[in-house]
Amino acid sequence: MKEFSVTFLGTGTSHGIPVIGCECPVCRSTDSRDKRYRSSILLTQGEHSLLIDTTPEFRLQALRSGIKRLDGVLYTHDHADHFNGIDDLRVFCRNESLPVYCSGEVSQTIQTRFNYVLGKFDEAGGVPHLEVNILEPYKEVSIAGFPVLPIPIFHGNQRIFAFRIGSFIYATDCSGIPSESLPYFQGVDTLVVGSLRYSPHPTHWCVFEATAFAHKVGARRTFLTHMCHDLSHGKLEGELPQDIRPAYDTLTITIGE
């Protein structure tokens, strides 16, 4: 496929960085790369753009990155830090419904927690108007010209989606890979994977686990995301091999270069 760009709208964990009330060195850091909104990315190719996850800061992310239109939204899962910015999609569907793509479980969450986004158009324009499309695991679909392949991964005991688009894979909030999903990671050129902290965690990979997996699947380059305030960007960058880098908010990379 043609080259496309990936912009990291946010690279933080559920608290965001700085954490409210925290005085740790990372939360007090003057390095702009240590300021992290909740994790989300934007894919762009020409005039087309595809968002993955709507964080609580989505409005701020969109303003910071100059997002003016969206062709669709992908959801990895329905946890608040990836989902609760859904109301700010309303500016992208004033005249027609905006398609969103997700698992059946996330679709149920939209119906129970945000059922008003599925109704008819309102004259006041105060709510989003979304068209929900349910994705099937391992079944590739074309969305705004992007070939999107949903790949189930483990987030603790929950199965959520990673997404493969061409030679690029986005796998945030990962704590394990089902055996049937592992072949879909082979041959990946650019991998983005969640890496919460140095020490193990029951629902997220730590730095060692994320980097070991990247080398296991042979990714040419890897970017770590969904990082908490245990991780200083500068320190972590100096500790990692050259093929693995910590991502940071507003970083843009090119896929297919």
125-134, pLDDT tens digit by residue?
688 999 999 9
End-to-end CA distance of the chain: 11
3-state secondary structure 160-214: EEEEEECCEEEECCCCECCCCCHHHHCCCCEEEEECCCCCCCCCCCCHHHHHHHH
3-class DSSP assignment, residue 59 = helix
The pTM is what?
0.97
Q: Can you give the pLDDT at residue 124?
A: 63
Q: Where are the domains of the chain?
A: 4-255
Q: Can you give the pLDDT at residue 94?
A: 83
46-55, pLDDT tens digit by residue?
999 999 999 9
170-205, pLDDT tens digit by residue?
999 999 999 999 999 998 999 999 999 999 999 999
Pick the CATH number of 4-255 from 1.10.760.10, 3.60.15.10, 3.40.605.10, 3.30.70.330: 3.60.15.10
94-110, pLDDT tens digit by residue?
888 999 999 999 999 99
On whether the CB atoms of residues 39 and 255 are closer than 8 A, the answer is no
Strand positions, DSSP E, the chain: 4-10, 40-45, 48-52, 72-74, 98-102, 130-134, 141-143, 146-155, 158-165, 168-171, 190-194, 221-225, 244-246, 252-255
Q: Can you give the pLDDT at residue 1?
A: 76
